[in-house]
Amino acid sequence: MINNGERNALQKLTRIYREAFESFDNHRESPPIEVEFYPYTAINHTIRIRDGRVYVRIGDLCRDLPTDAHVGLAHILVAKLLRRRVPKWARDIYSDQIKTAEMRERASKSKLERGRKIVTTDKGEVYNLTEIFRDLNKAYFRGRIAKPVLTWSTRKTYRILGHHDSTHKTIVVSRSLDSIDVPKYVVEYIVFHEMLHIKHPTVHHNGRRYNHTPAFRADEEQFEYFDAAERWIERNVRKLKRNAKKK
């Protein structure tokens, strides 16, 4: 049930979106608009049109944004719906708000509480991720990296061969690499890369995220088979793609 406070907030936002439509075409009245807050896991928003009516869903993490940020977001969403250029001022105002430390912390907490990390197993048909992690930790990190959850992905992928989820403390490796056709040093390289994300957490500076700092890159090149692994991935990406698309 919507209380009076939220009803008033949604009415205000509806006016903001109506004005955004009219700013792109002041000769035509905006269509009927419905705005609602939605419990997305991350900072997401959607806008769509159906039967002449516009439906806007604003991630409830952004419920308390200042009015000028909501105005900016409205112009961003409406511009995308109308396939118009997003005004720079709108992008800047909105970005300044969602890149604050408070919003990052709120988004991280939401991802942890609402998100769900699918974990399969660390034991593949060919390679055991726990054994690889243990050996790498001893050889390169003096055993100082706390063991995260290690899992093969649910599907074979080729664009992303591995990723580290700091919120859920998980390293996921693409199932495409669990094959006798893939050298062990390639799997080790992917796990090693994700372990470096634990050693070198994301740096936030002037509203930007830096995942691969100079220190990260320097450590990455210390991997014994760095060049060989990079070459293998580059030469076999098409094969990985074909295998990933097989039903």
Range of the domain at 46: 4-114
Q: Is residue 122 included in any domain, yes or no?
A: no
Band of residue 1 on the pLDDT scale cut at 50, 70, 90:
very low
Q: Select from 182, 145, 112 the least CA-distant residue to 173.
A: 182
State the DSSP code for 146: P
The answer to whether 191 touches 162, Cβ cutoff 8 Å, is yes
d(CA 140, CA 171): 17
Q: Is the pLDDT of residue 94 over 90?
A: yes
Instruction: Convert the pLDDT of each residue in 76-92 to its tens digit.
Output: 999 999 999 999 999 99
Q: Is the pLDDT of residue 235 over 90?
A: yes
The answer to whether 173 touches 129, Cβ cutoff 8 Å, is yes
**pLDDT value at position 42?**
82
Residue with tokens 């005004």: 87
Q: How many domains does the chain have?
A: 2
d(CA 171, CA 163): 6
Query: 57 and 84: one domain?
Result: yes
The one-letter amino acid at 140: Y
**Mean per-residue pLDDT, 186-190:** 98
pTM of the model: 0.59
Q: Is residue 56 included in any domain, yes or no?
A: yes
d(CA 148, CA 195): 9
Non-local CB neighbours of 108 within 8 Å, separated by 6+ positions: 167
**CATH assignment of the domain containing 149:** 3.30.2010.10
d(CA 183, CA 171): 19
Q: Is the pLDDT of residue 2 over 60?
A: no
Query: 102 and 153: one domain?
Result: no
Query: 20 and 110: one domain?
Result: yes
Residues pairing with 50 in the sheet: 53
Residues pairing with 35 in the sheet: 56
Query: 64 and 108: one domain?
Result: yes
Query: 101 and 17: one domain?
Result: yes
Q: Is the pLDDT of residue 104 over 90?
A: no
**pLDDT value at position 20?**
95
Instruction: Convert the pLDDT of each residue in 109-157 to its tens digit.
Output: 777 666 666 778 999 999 999 999 999 999 999 999 999 999 999 889 8
